[in-house]
């Protein structure tokens, strides 16, 4: 009889099932071969699959898209913390500590939300790559480069919602992906401060529903423009989701909810 590896699928940055961003979470009894983890992520075919292994001072955490391992992922970290608390791996009041490629990341429960402590990754203004404007099909008001992605501001929230990029052209650009953003329309201001979408076809994710790591750049970007350290962002994908942001120097605190939607077992 083969060993059985439980997994849990969680919708992150939402309090309603079938919205937000789904991630699969595997709490492993021991470290596994990265090739096996990549095959599992490909089989799951979600934006991210997270793998956790307990250690004395927390958990080792790795994230895989269907095609590659990534250095930072917000929604799958939120999903991982949710699973640890919900399934009794950690008491609800304990801080979840994750050792990752991006250093130590933590998650705590506060005011009915999970709050992630992540590094800020501000965008540095740069010239637009030759194909970027053509791939997006809209004029670019600002182009910046983060450690992972291009961040592009365009002229309206409506344009962000309606954009239909040429994914084949985006896939040829360097880096992980492209964040597209605009200030929220006046009617939305009491709900959220800015809207965004995120496209990463080169990482096997044509459009990510709600991208926590993108908000490590969006927070500093909009915080500087709006003169605020507390922000609310809406990622306007088909699923959609809200990300609360608290800016704290070189750190960004991301707040959101999560909902378990599926539990199963891998026959490995």
Residue % of the chain over a pLDDT of 70: 97
> Does 23 have pLDDT greater than 90?
yes
Intra-chain end-to-end CA distance of the chain, in Å: 10
Say whether both 66 and 128 belong to one domain: no
Say which residue the tokens 């922000």 belong to: 231
Say whether both 263 and 245 belong to one domain: no
The tokens describing 217, both together, are: 């750049």
Instruction: Please identify every residue annotated as catalytic.
Output: 48
Say whether both 176 and 224 belong to one domain: yes
> Does 190 have pLDDT greater than 90?
no
Residue 185 pLDDT class (50, 70, 90 cuts): confident
Domain count, the chain: 2
Say whether both 170 and 219 belong to one domain: yes
Tell me how far apart the alpha carbons of residues 29 and 40 are, in angstroms, rounded to a whole number. 16
Mean pLDDT for the stretch of residues 11-15: 96
Mean pLDDT for the stretch of residues 78-85: 98
- Assign residue 37 the CATH number of its domain: 3.10.310.10
Q: What is the DSSP string of the chain?
A: ---EEEEEEEEES-SSTTSSEEEEEEEESS---HHHHHHHHHHHTSSEEEEEEEETTEEEEEEE-SS-EES--SHHHHHHHHHHHHTTSS-TTSPEEEEETTEEEEEEEETTEEEEEEE--PPEE-PPPTTHHHHHTS--SEEEE-SSEEEEE-S-HHHHHH----HHHHHTSSSSEEEEEEEPPGGGTTT-SEEEEEEEGGGTEEEESS-TTTHHHHHHHHHHHHT-SEEEEEE-SSS-EEEEEEEETTEEEEEE-EEEEEEEEEE-
Say whether both 240 and 262 belong to one domain: no
Say whether both 185 and 234 belong to one domain: yes
**Does residue 118 belong to any structural domain of this protein?**
no
**Does residue 114 belong to any structural domain of this protein?**
no
Mean pLDDT for the stretch of residues 115-127: 97
**Does residue 119 belong to any structural domain of this protein?**
no
Mean pLDDT for the stretch of residues 28-54: 97
Q: What is the mean pLDDT of the chain?
A: 95
Say whether both 99 and 137 belong to one domain: no
> Does 1 have pLDDT greater than 80?
no
> Does 107 have pLDDT greater than 70?
yes
> Does 221 have pLDDT greater than 90?
yes
Report pLDDT for 8.
98
**Does residue 12 belong to any structural domain of this protein?**
yes
Residue 189 pLDDT class (50, 70, 90 cuts): low
Say whether both 56 and 167 belong to one domain: no
- Which residue pairs from 156-163 have beta carbons closer than 8 angstroms and sit at least 24 positions apart in sequence? 156/182, 156/185, 157/182, 157/183, 157/184, 157/185, 157/188, 157/194, 157/195, 157/236, 158/185, 160/195, 160/196, 160/197, 160/236, 161/195, 161/197, 161/236, 163/136, 163/137, 163/138, 163/197
Mean pLDDT for the stretch of residues 8-37: 96
Residue % of the chain over a pLDDT of 90: 94
Mean pLDDT for the stretch of residues 50-78: 97
**Does residue 95 belong to any structural domain of this protein?**
yes
Residue 194 pLDDT class (50, 70, 90 cuts): very high
Put simply, whether the predicted model's pTM sits higher than 0.85 gets the answer yes
Q: Which residues, other chains included, contact 123 with Cβ-Cβ below 8 Å and sequence gap of 6+?
A: 144, 145, 146, 151, 217, 220, 221
Mean pLDDT for the stretch of residues 182-191: 75
Say whether both 151 and 70 belong to one domain: no
Out of 58-72, 99-113, 186-200, least confident range: 186-200
* Residues 236-249 pLDDT 10s: 999 999 999 999 99
Say whether both 212 and 142 belong to one domain: yes
The tokens describing 226, both together, are: 């709006």
> Does 268 have pLDDT greater than 90?
no
Mean pLDDT for the stretch of residues 30-42: 97
Say whether both 151 and 73 belong to one domain: no
**Does residue 41 belong to any structural domain of this protein?**
yes
Say whether both 13 and 105 belong to one domain: yes
Residue 217 pLDDT class (50, 70, 90 cuts): very high
**Does residue 115 belong to any structural domain of this protein?**
no
Residue 188 pLDDT class (50, 70, 90 cuts): low
Residue 2 pLDDT class (50, 70, 90 cuts): low
**Does residue 87 belong to any structural domain of this protein?**
yes
* Residues 144-173 pLDDT 10s: 999 999 999 999 999 999 999 999 999 999
Parent domain of 143:
124-249
């Amino acid at each position: 009889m083969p060993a059985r590896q439980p997994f849990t699928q969680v919708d992150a940055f939402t309090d309603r099932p079938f919205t937000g961003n789904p991630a699969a979470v595997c709490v492993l009894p021991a470290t596994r071969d990265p090739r096996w983890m990549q095959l599992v992520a490909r089989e799951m075919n979600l934006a991210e699959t997270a793998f956790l292994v307990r250690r004395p001072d927390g958990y080792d955490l790795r994230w895989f898209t269907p095609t590659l391992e990534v250095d930072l992922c917000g929604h799958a970290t939120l999903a991982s913390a949710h699973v640890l608390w919900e399934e009794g791996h950690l008491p609800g009041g304990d801080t979840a500590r994750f050792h990752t490629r991006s250093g130590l990341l933590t998650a705590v429960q506060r005011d009915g939300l999970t709050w992630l402590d992540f590094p800020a990754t501000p965008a540095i203004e740069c010239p637009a790559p030759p194909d970027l404007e053509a791939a997006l099909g809209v004029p670019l008001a600002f182009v910046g480069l983060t450690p992972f992605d291009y961040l592009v501001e365009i002229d309206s929230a409506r344009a962000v919602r309606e954009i239909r990029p040429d994914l084949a052209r985006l896939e040829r650009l360097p880096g992980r992906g492209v964040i597209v953003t605009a200030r929220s329309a006046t009617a939305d201001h009491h709900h959220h401060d800015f809207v965004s979408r995120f496209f990463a076809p080169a990482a096997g994710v044509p459009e990510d529903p709600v991208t926590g790591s993108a908000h490590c750049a969006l927070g500093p970007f909009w915080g500087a423009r709006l003169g605020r350290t507390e922000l609310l962002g809406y990622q306007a994908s088909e699923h959609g989701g809200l990300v609360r942001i608290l800016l704290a120097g070189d750190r960004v605190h991301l707040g959101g909810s999560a909902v378990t939607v599926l539990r199963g077992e891998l026959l490995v």
